[in-house]
Amino acid sequence: MSKKSQEDGQRSLPKKQGLYDPRFEHDACGMGMVANIRGEKSNSIIRQALTILKNLTHRGARGAEPNTGDGAGIMIQVPHVFLSRKAERHSFSLPDPGHYGVGIVFLPTDMKHRRAIEIHFEKIIASEGQRLIGWRTVKVNNEALGKTARLAEPKMRMVFIARGAHIPDEMAFERKLSTA
C-alpha cells in the first residue's frame, strides 16, 4: 500500500503480476476459489468450497424473497465412477476418462420445446465432429427455493459427449468443448 493510500485510509490494488492485472478490477459482490495445486482429488476441497459458499450469502443478486437469488455453483473434476453408474441406468456407457465431456444444460419444462432444443444441440455436437453419448435428467430438490425461483426453474439435463477421433488428446478436447 502506498504512503498516500495509507494516509487517506484507502487500499491500493496490487501491481500487475503473473496472470493478475489491476486494470480488470471492478466492484463485485464476491467469489471464492479452492483448488489443489497438484490436481489431487479430495473431498476436503468440496467441504472448503461449501464453506466459502455459506460465507458468500449475498453473491450479487438476491431477489425479493430471501430464498430466491442468482444461484451459485461449484466446478469439480468429472466423477467418472459415479457418472458411469448413472449412465448404465440410462442404457448407455461412458468411455474412459478424457474421452468424453459432460455438461449441464438448462432447458424448458415443456417436453416438446425441450426435445426440440435437445435435437438442435445434438446437431451442433455432430457438426463439431463429436458424438452424443446420451442425456440424463438431473434430480433436484427444490424445496428450499422461493416461489419466484420455482416459477422460473428450468429442467436440468446432463449431456454426455464423446471425443471425436480427430481430437488428439484430452486438452485439445477440453478446448474444443469450451469453444464450440
- Catalytic amino acids? 29
Give residues with Cβ within 8 angstroms of 167, minimum separation 6: 129, 130, 173, 176
Q: How far is the C-alpha of 132 from the C-alpha of 141, rounded, in Å?
A: 27
Q: Where are the alpha helices (DSSP H) in the chain?
A: 3-7, 43-55, 80-89, 111-127, 147-152, 170-179
For residue 145, give the DSSP letter.
S
